[in-house]
Each structure stands twice: as structure tokens, then as C-alpha cells.
Structure 1
Amino acid sequence: MGHLADLLVNAGHNVTVFIPEMDNIEETGTKLAQKIIKMKGLFNVVEQITNFDAFNEEISSYSARRSEDEGMVIYCESILKKKEELEILKNSNFDLAFSNMIDYCLQGIIKYLGIEKQIWISTGPLPEGPLWFLGIPLPLSISPLLQQTTMLGPRMNMMERATNIWQFALSCYSVIQTLRKENELFRSYISPDFPSLDKVLAEVDLAFVYNDEFLDPALPTLPKVISIGGLGIKPANYSINNLGIKLVKAIESSKKGTIIFSMGSITDTKFFNKEKWQNILKAFSYFEEYSFIVKISAGDKFTQEYTKNMPNIHLFEWFPQSDLLGM
């Protein structure tokens, strides 16, 4: 989203970035936006979402989904309670709004702000909920969902297809429950006549998807769905000078090679199961002839303390991945 904001600024637009904080993260993602408005003191939905064992295979993806959805409903309410802050945005008379597909609440807020045009953004493949609202059919016999059946691929046997249909039914139920609760919130905090969110979502003008259509599962699509994978990525200009002294020393300290281990920027390593995370780090330490560059979350004191006597493990809260992999 930050890259997109910067591209719009470079194109001559006046851009305001509104961040209703899910977590106490200081980064905004943008370097050029003319104005950044943060709404603080909201429900910490990130802690709600990550408050389970990420390595526990017995956890139902549906249970995790419901926990996330319940957290987003509470998060939505905490935003709507700050109506005075929303009024500041409403008086700005924006022409266009971008919002993430992570939840449906923001589309309702955009409607309340009186912004006539809005673009929905997905940072990965389109989930089944947005597909439904965008009017895109989902052939369940060949298209696995983004839940437990996501790894099946397009060639499913009868049992796998039945599982896929069951997962779709669970997903629909979850979406309906979330919409029902969030509709109640808008009619309580905004107006008893506030339109149903499913109607608001159906009016979205465009959907931008950060993906590569040649890598995603085959799906029907519409002209309003536009793939923007790679948008904002700068031309390759790999240089060891971009790595920093600490990172270069970590690479040069290895005898046989360097291994990068990252669970992605959105994953908070502070919430990992301590025992299983220790086992992974301990396994890394046995390969003494290799350097392990491990990405951790800011403030992860546990990992820092546990690996202080493991010289081949080097911890970073961030590293220039393109430069590192391009060397």
C-alpha cells in the first residue's frame, strides 16, 4: 500500500494515508505521501490473530479464521467509536479511496466518509469472500480455497472436491456472521439506515490484486479485477554496498554458504511456540559451516537471548532481500 501511495504522489496526486493501527508498528510504508493520519488506541487485532501456536498442525484453519474474524469485528467497533476522528477525514472530500481486503469494515467506513469511488486491494490471491461480492464465480471442482484445501491444486479427487465444498460452506458461514455483526455496528454507531455492507462491497469500482495471474490458480475473472504484481518494485540495481556491514560480515563468516530464513514480514516471531522455535534454531546451530540469516520481529528478546551463543545464527529485523538474493 505504501508503494502504491508513493506511485500516486509521483503521478501528481495529493495522497493521504490513513492508518487505523492494528499493532504498535511505527512504519507507514510510504515515503512521499503528503499526509499520514494514524488512529491510535484501537483493539490489537494482530495479537488476537497470532495468539495461537503457528506450528500446531492440529489447529483447524476454520477455528483460526473465526478467531481472526472475531478480532476484526472488535477492531471495527474500536474504529467506529472514534467518530470524531473519522469526521476529520470526512471533511477532506477525497475523490478516491484504496482499502485492503483484510476485512469489510473499511469499505463501510469509506461509504460513511462520502467517498464515491473506491478500489479494493488484495495482497495475495483473491479470497472466496471478495470473489462472492465482486460477482466472480468460483468453480469448486477445480479451484481450491485459501483455507485447508489450498494446497490441493486443480486436480482433485472426489473426496478432495467434497472437502473443498465443505470448506466453502464454512467460509460462507464465517463471512455471513462477520457481516451481520459489522452491519449491527454501523447501524449502532453511524446510522440506523446505514446500507448493508454486502451492498457496499458490490459497488466497489475496481479490485487491484498483487499477484501474477500465471502463478495463481485458474479462475474466471472480470475487467474490474486488475493484477498489479510487481508494482512499485524498482529496477534491479544489486550492490553489496546496499547490504550493510553487519550483513556482509554474516555472509563472509560462512565456510560453505549462507541460508536465509524468513517467515515473512507479517509474521511476528514473538508469538511462536517457544519449544518448537528453539528446536528450529538449535537445528540451525548444528550446521556450523553455514551462516543462517534469520529474520525476527522487532522486540523479540527471547530469540536474541536464546541465540547469543550460536555464532552461525545472525538475527535481523529487516534486510534488503532483493540485494541479498541478487548477489
Structure 2
Amino acid sequence: MKFMANLANQLAENGHQVTYFQPFVIEAYKDHKLLKHESIEVLNYWHDEEGRKHMPPANDLHDAWYSGKYQSAIKAVTEMPEFLFSAWEHMCRKIFQDAELLVNLKERNFDVVIAETFDFCGLCAFWSVFCLKLIRDLFSDLADYIESKSIISVFTGSRLLAITTPLGEPSWLHYLPAPSSGSFGPGSSLLDRLNDLYHKYVFGNGYSVVFDWQYYQVARLTGGKVRHWKKILHDVTFHFSNSNPYLDFSVPTIPKVIPIGGFDMDETLDTALPKEYEFILNKRPVTVFVSFGSMVKSRFMPNHYKEAMARMFAENVKNITFLWKYEDLEDQFLINHLPENVILKDWFPQRALLADKRVKLFITHGGLGSTMELAYAAKPAIMIPLIAEQPDNGKMLERHGSVEVYSKYDIPNWKKLNKVLQKMLNNESYQKSADRLANVLKNQPIKGREHMIKHAEMAAKFGKLPELTPNVQDMGVIEFYNLDILFLFLSVILGFLYLLWRYVSNCAGFKSKLE
């Protein structure tokens, strides 16, 4: 939501008429104040009473602290499709059955629709979308159904394996390691390469299943008047990837995939801290900021996790102040265990804290937003991935030498966590690596914001650009893998061997007759 809102804000700041259509699948987010530009037209769309019964509960990810299902390729196929589809199904159906809404959106005659690919109902119709005359984060099916002149697909993570092939990107195998692979590139082990192969095809297939289900749902609702999601992706004008080539793994791609990662890392942003933080940050020699994001709440930590964190904090009571973003300030169990060097708040000015030199380290879940912020702020970090793409983000940043990735299953081992903390605070190499990475990002020739604005404007001006769609996308399996050429070579070789066999047999027979 924050990523798409930032897209809308920056397009509006550049003088474009932006409509932000936001169906609230989870109404807990209804009071967000992410849209800053007053010219943005906001179209809110709500569940009906039946739909509210299907909304995911606020604590739906409470088990992410200790469960492996959110990072399992098998679970991605066996459980994730049903979980995601059930969360989105009712809202998608409501949108496509709302004739007045569909006519309203179609009559606006948007120049371009920007639709997120995580939920394909919008690309079909266009949910979570914003439009340039421009729109926000509708789904791909909706954008296609209202016959938008131009569609820009977006994935707010750095990558989604299920969409790479439909977009026309070459295989990332060997370029992008699986999060659980210990080694990659030259010298990677047989088991790690097998794991990469397994992750690519099994994990990627999980999202394909969800998107297929959404397509079949929309096809039923529209009488078949919508294209398959792979066809829609094939024809998008551009695809915005929340990736930065100087930060991310280097993978093969195509010109229509535009890396805009870091477009919202505004270097001119005022990062001045409120006065109350001056005393806090000067109280001890070192300050460490702890935040696990907003998707998986810290308050849902098992008690023995909380107790272990408190023990680690207490071990550093003289020298380190810990600032912990924690949602339940009345959690008596935690309060009873916390030492005096810990400050709990349900919100901290994260970007301003990361920009302050007195904050020496960031303990984070490794969400992509936090990953971008700590990279641009030159802040070393301990990354404790919990769900989704967070293990990928950890591995991505770890290779730059500025972070250590720590398993969530080892949080109860407070001595081990404290050892990693001390290692990072006492080794200057982490800060030097973080400084170098931040310097590279700040000096990249073309910034993510410029990439995003110019390509959105080009899509609005020219519509679809078939010139950017690889011809290989329309090739069949036989053509793509040259199976006919292989068959021809095998036929020639087998034919030659057969003739050779006949010749040798005839020679042997002739010799026998002579004898």
C-alpha cells in the first residue's frame, strides 16, 4: 500500500491527474494517511456485510514468528493459494458484479493504468490501480476488462517468479539463489543447485495457481470477456520492478522491465528528529533501533521470544539504548521483563532514526521498504526474516557485507543474538560496507524516480509498445527449445549409423561368401 501510494504521490507532484482506486480487502488499513498530494482523486471501495465475514483477521500472521510455512516452497503450493484466494475472492466478485463501477471506470478513459500483479483481479479489471490522466493498485484483470489504452504492471517486492516467464524474461536459474541455499554462483554445491531448481519451479508455481484461480473466477463473472493473466502480462507496456540493480542480484531481463527500486528514497527529505529524541540518543554511547515492521506484529511474539529479547537487552544495559517498535504498550509480561535501557513505542520516525549517526545498528525483519531505507541510510543491520520475500532480501543485502542474517528460530538463543550484536558493533567493516553501498546508490546515473516518471509518461503518450515484447514469447515449445532441429540432427546421426551398419554387414557377408 505504501509503495503504490508513493507512486501516486510522485506522479501527482509531476503535474499528472491521478485517480487512486483502493478496494479495502483489509479494512484495518482504511485510515492510512499515505496519500500526500491534494490533487489525487481517491475512490474508496468497501466490502459489503458478506465480504466482511471473509476478511483476514488482524492476527492472521501471528504464527510467522515460529512457523516455516511462510517460507516453504511446498506450503506455497499446498496452502498459500487457498489462503490468498479466499482473502481476495469476495472483493473481486463484488467489483466485477458492480456494473455501475465498471462503467464509471471505463468512461474515465484513463491514459494508463498502473496495476499491481500480486493480486491479478485488478489487472483483469483493475483493482488496486491508479490511473494517469493516471490510477493505483487494482488488479490486472480489471485494467484489461475496461480496455485501458496502456497498462503498467507493478510488483511491490523485488521479484515474483510466477510472472517472469509471461513477461518474457529469461530464466533466473543460477543468477538468483534460493533463500535457503548456502552457496551460489561458481563453486556452489550440488545440493544448493538442486535447491535453487526446486525453489524456482515449486515456489513459483504456488502463485501461478492463485492467479489461475482468479482468472477462472473473473472469466465466469464476465462470460469469458477477459484474457488469461499471462496474456495480459505479455502485452503490458512496462513492468515496474521494486528492484535496484546496484542493490539486488544481477539477473537477465528485458527492456520493458523497469527497475524503480528506491524511487521514494527522497534525499531532500527532512530527516530531523523531534527534540525528545535528543536526550534518548545521547543517554548511552550506542543506540540500536529494533522494528519488525507492520505485517507481523511484535506483540504476537511467543513469550519465550520476548523474554530472550529482554535478556539480550539487559546484557547491554550500561552501553546500549534499545528503541523497540512494539504495538502493545500495555503488555505486562514484556514490561515485567524489560530492563531500563529499552524504550517501547508503537511508532518511531524510522527514516529519521536510520539517518542519525548515533543509531549504530538496526534489527529488522528485512521487509523491502526497510531494506531500501537502511541501504540508502548506510546503516548496518541484523536481519531476521519472518515471511515472504524477506529471506531473499537478507541474502541480497548480506553479500554487500553490511548485514548479518539471523534465523528467527534462534531468537530464543539470546546469547547467540548478543554475540552477533557485539560482533557488528565492534567490527568497522560493516559500517564501511554500508557507507560504500549508500554512496553507490546515491551516485547511480539514473535514479529510480526518474525511471518511474519518464516511463509512466511514455506509456501514457504512446500506449502499448509491442516493440518491447520479445518475439520469443509467441514461440511454441518445439520452436523455443529447437526440438525439431534436435530431431533433425538425431535423424541424420541415426540414419548415418544405420547406413554404416548396413555397409559393415554387407562387407562381412561378402567376405564370408569369398571364403
Whether these two folds match at TM > 0.5 is yes
Cα deviation code 1:23-68 (max 9, x no counterpart): 3122152211522222233543575862533234587522553444
Q: How does 1:1-327 map to 2 (within 5 A)?
A: 1-23=4-26, 24-25=28-29, 26-32=31-37, 33-41=39-47, 43-45=54-56, 47=58, 50-56=61-67, 61-66=72-77, 67-83=79-95, 84=98, 86-87=101-102, 88-105=104-121, 106-145=139-178, 148-149=180-181, 152-155=183-186, 156-236=188-268, 242-252=272-282, 254-289=283-318, 290-297=320-327, 300=328, 303=331, 306-307=334-335, 310-327=339-356
- Are the counterparts in 2 of residues 238 and 322 from structure 1 also a CA contact under 8 Å? no
Q: 1:116 to 1:315 in 2, by over 3 A?
A: farther
Distance in 2 between residues matched to 1:6 and 1:261, nearest whole Å: 28
Instruction: Give how far 1:15 is off.
Output: 0.8
Q: 1:19 to 1:63 in 2, by over 3 A?
A: farther
Q: TM-score, normalised by structure 1?
A: 0.85
- Gapped regions of structure 1 (runs ≥ 5): none
Distance in 2 between residues matched to 1:192 and 1:220, nearest whole Å: 35
Q: Give the SS at the match of 1:52.
A: helix
Segment drifting more, 15-24 vs 222-231: 15-24
Q: Give the SS at the match of 1:166.
A: helix
Cα deviation code 1:98-155 (max 9, x no counterpart): 122323221112212332311122333222112122111124134224x544x64434
Letter of the structure 2 residue corresponding to residue 182 of structure 1: Q
4+ residue runs of structure 1 moved beyond 6 angstroms? none
- Are the counterparts in 2 of residues 257 and 291 from structure 1 also a CA contact under 8 Å? yes
Distance in 1 between residues matched to 2:240 and 2:184, nearest whole Å: 23
Distance in 1 between residues matched to 2:70 and 2:242, nearest whole Å: 28
Count how many residue pairs are aligned between Structure 1 and Structure 2. 320
Distance in 2 between residues matched to 1:222 and 1:294, nearest whole Å: 42
- Are the counterparts in 1 of residues 162 and 205 from structure 2 also a CA contact under 8 Å? no
- Gapped regions of structure 2 (runs ≥ 5): 122-138, 357-515
Distance in 1 between residues matched to 2:206 and 2:191, nearest whole Å: 23
Distance in 1 between residues matched to 2:114 and 2:254, nearest whole Å: 19
Instruction: Give how far 1:179 is off.
Output: 2.8
Q: 1:86 to 1:201 in 2, by over 3 A?
A: farther
Instruction: Give how far 1:79 is off.
Output: 1.7
Distance in 1 between residues matched to 2:226 and 2:347, nearest whole Å: 43
- Are the counterparts in 2 of residues 294 and 314 from structure 1 also a CA contact under 8 Å? yes
**Aligned counterpart, 2:417:** none
Letter of the structure 2 residue corresponding to residue 196 of structure 1: H
- Are the counterparts in 1 of residues 215 and 228 from structure 2 also a CA contact under 8 Å? yes
- Are the counterparts in 1 of residues 74 and 202 from structure 2 also a CA contact under 8 Å? no
Distance in 2 between residues matched to 1:9 and 1:217, nearest whole Å: 31
- Are the counterparts in 1 of residues 329 and 344 from structure 2 also a CA contact under 8 Å? no
Q: TM-score, normalised by structure 2?
A: 0.56
Q: 1:304 to 1:230 in 2, by over 3 A?
A: farther
**Aligned counterpart, 2:431:** none
Q: Give the SS at the match of 2:142.
A: helix
Q: Give the SS at the match of 1:192.
A: coil
Distance in 2 between residues matched to 1:92 and 1:323, nearest whole Å: 40
User: Which structure: larger Rg?
Assistant: 2
Segment drifting more, 126-135 vs 272-281: 272-281
Q: Give the SS at the match of 2:63.
A: coil
Distance in 1 between residues matched to 2:61 and 2:210, nearest whole Å: 19
Distance in 2 between residues matched to 1:122 and 1:4, nearest whole Å: 12
Instruction: Give how far 1:206 is off.
Output: 0.7
